[in-house]
Structure 1
Amino acid sequence: MANNAEEIKKFLRARRDAVRPSEVGLANYPGRRVPGLRREEVAQLAGVSVDYYTRLEQGRLTSASEGVILSIAEALRLTQAETQYLRDLLRPQLHRSVEPAPPQQVRPALLRMLNGLHDQPAFVLGRRNEVLASNDLLDALFTPFNHRPPGERNLLRWLLLDPAARSLYLDWAQITSEVVGVLRAEAGRNPDDPQIAEFVAELRSASPEFRTWWAERTVVERTWGSKRFNHPVVGRLDITYEALSLPGDPDQILFVYAGKTDDDLGRLRILASWYAQSTTHPITAGQGTAQPQRGEPGEQEPRQA
């Protein structure tokens, strides 16, 4: 991630450009030379001096009070996630001390719970969108993450770089850009994490879409919602999902999917049966080669990615 002053500058400018004058009650007369708001307009809306806001946006100020942050967030119509990102940028004294992060581990009880969800794809995401653990139905829906090398179990990397992921999601661009926004939020919480910086550099080099979405500086927090798939085995599939923070490790998020309708639940059960009856992992949504053989259903110990 860029240094703090540079990121403050780029984030505020990007958000200012994204606000149309009419959205905040200002006239959008012909000949305006900026796509969004002027600095003086943001300053007026936020109740701060033009000089103060200018210095802030230019990166010459790298901290602000909570009241100023909230006023600027309101002026720029920031979402809750974007407001927290601005808070992370402008109140660096609140950051956790950054030390080499130990490998994340999923609790054995949680692994057993994942494997007990037979009709619901489920997985645990860690820092930087690593798939720390997944159940069989999630592997059948996406790709056999549990059989990928450890360095290839990253959800965002899979979404961006595996062509099959683009075919699986009917709304691939929307979903993937949101996951990029999740990584942006993580970068704000941990601005000095070298592993995030390395991951961002890798994706910027490998994916033009990532470069575009990263530059837009949209920030997204995981919550709940729905997704639409076109799976090569069961066809059209609509699901709902919940993203749950795990107690004891806020950097781990449990995702649980469910069929949106009874028909979708039936397709998930067909998918589970197809996956369980395979003596080798067949081609799934994101994998083009045969996978190692698996035992009979129920013989396998809970696994961790």
Structure 2
Amino acid sequence: MDSDNRLGAFLRARRELVRPEDVGMSGGGQRRVAGLRREEVAMLAGMSADYYVRLEQGRDKHPSEQVVTALARVFALDDEATAHLRELARPVARRRRAPHRPERASRGLTTLMAAWPNTPALVLGRHLDVLAANPLAVAVNSCSVPGVNQVRMMFLDPEARCLYPDWSVHAAETVASLRASAGTDLDDPRLTDLVGELSLKSEEFRQLWARHDIRAKTAGVKRFANPMVGEFTLSYETFAVNGAPGQMLIAYHAEPGSPSERALTLLGSMIATGDPEFQDAAARAHD
């Protein structure tokens, strides 16, 4: 996981994603590297090629704010990725790691979600484990069953490819979200185990993880292919959970008056009336 040279790994990954033509350079001729050459990055950022090489190789790990800003401009980083680059460039004192404690959603939060019969809602931990979900969230999407790790299911469970018509888009978003949640704490044993397992079992995950994309879940739209009510589209909003660093509450909603709202209402009625296909949704949501 490049734990000894995180800054260099990030710079190398971003350099390989920039095409010469994106920065006004000729992309013709024989190029032995993907993206930009190191000397091209240095020239565009206004620094010596030797200094940039030292950054990538980990011989200099703490560039100045001016250098960070210049590199963010060359790589066209958004605010979130630039903030991550700044974190990587800061000297970090090694702290003794506290013993691992299983993450749990608070009782108050699970009670609150249970009182939302028409709003699918779930709580994710910092490694994208589903810590809690209400019955409607479970009925909408089997990736929202408590105890499921959404990254593992996305890449290793064939059902996920059926649930998400836009699987490739959501797979990339999931990996970027895991990176954002982990931040610079890549020595976390739980994260190391998860990334190691998925890198061995899924080439798609390995390639996406190597891109070093950083994108926290904030808001968006997802299409679902539900086996009972067919395809529908929901928007979602995320909220940080106070008092539980790394946890987030996700709530879904449909466009008022839309076919998707009618599909969501139908799912809710199946749960409320004890439809055999969904009679265990509440039980699974509280396991």
Give the alignment's TM-score, normalised by structure 1. 0.84
Quick one: structure 1 residues 217 and 144, their matched pair in 2 at CA, closer, same or farther if it must change by over 3 Å? Answer: closer
77-86 vs 165-174, which moves further: 77-86
What's the CA shift for 1:102? 2.3
What's the CA shift for 1:184? 2.1
Quick one: structure 1 residues 94 and 114, their matched pair in 2 at CA, closer, same or farther if it must change by over 3 Å? Answer: farther
Partner of 1:297: none
Partner of 2:87: 88
Q: Which runs of 5+ in 2 are unaligned?
A: none
Partner of 1:286: none
What's the CA shift for 1:101? 3.6
Secondary structure at 1:250 match in 2: coil
Partner of 2:197: 202
Quick one: structure 1 residues 130 and 35, their matched pair in 2 at CA, closer, same or farther if it must change by over 3 Å? Answer: same
Q: Which runs of 5+ in 1 are unaligned?
A: 283-289, 295-299
What's the CA shift for 1:8? 2.8
Quick one: structure 1 residues 46 and 109, their matched pair in 2 at CA, closer, same or farther if it must change by over 3 Å? Answer: same
CA distance in 1, matches of 2:251, 2:190: 27
Does the CA-based 8 Å contact 1:40-1:50 persist in structure 2? yes
Partner of 2:243: 248
Q: Please list, as runs of the form range in 1=range in 2, the aligned pairs for 1:1-305 lying within 5 A after superposition.
A: 1-5=1-5, 7-93=6-92, 98-143=97-142, 146=145, 150=147, 153-262=148-257, 263-278=259-274, 282=278
Q: Over the residues paired in the alignment, what is the CA RMSD in angstroms? A: 2.6
CA distance in 2, matches of 1:206, 1:39: 32
Alignment-mate amino acid for residue 277 of structure 1: T
What's the CA shift for 1:194? 1.1
What's the CA shift for 1:107? 2.5
What's the CA shift for 1:293? 8.7
Secondary structure at 2:245 match in 1: strand
What's the CA shift for 1:138? 0.5
Secondary structure at 1:4 match in 2: coil
What's the CA shift for 1:41? 2.1
Aligned length: 286
What's the CA shift for 1:280? 5.5
Secondary structure at 1:54 match in 2: helix
Alignment-mate amino acid for residue 263 of structure 2: R
Does the CA-based 8 Å contact 2:143-2:160 persist in structure 1? no
40-49 vs 22-31, which moves further: 22-31
What's the CA shift for 1:91? 1.6
What's the CA shift for 1:16? 0.8
Quick one: structure 1 residues 258 and 161, their matched pair in 2 at CA, closer, same or farther if it must change by over 3 Å? Answer: same
Quick one: structure 1 residues 107 and 291, their matched pair in 2 at CA, closer, same or farther if it must change by over 3 Å? Answer: closer
What's the CA shift for 1:10? 2.8
Considering Cα pairs closer than 8 Å and 6+ residues apart, tell me whether 1 or 2 has the greater RCO: 1
86-95 vs 188-197, which moves further: 86-95
What's the CA shift for 1:95? 8.2
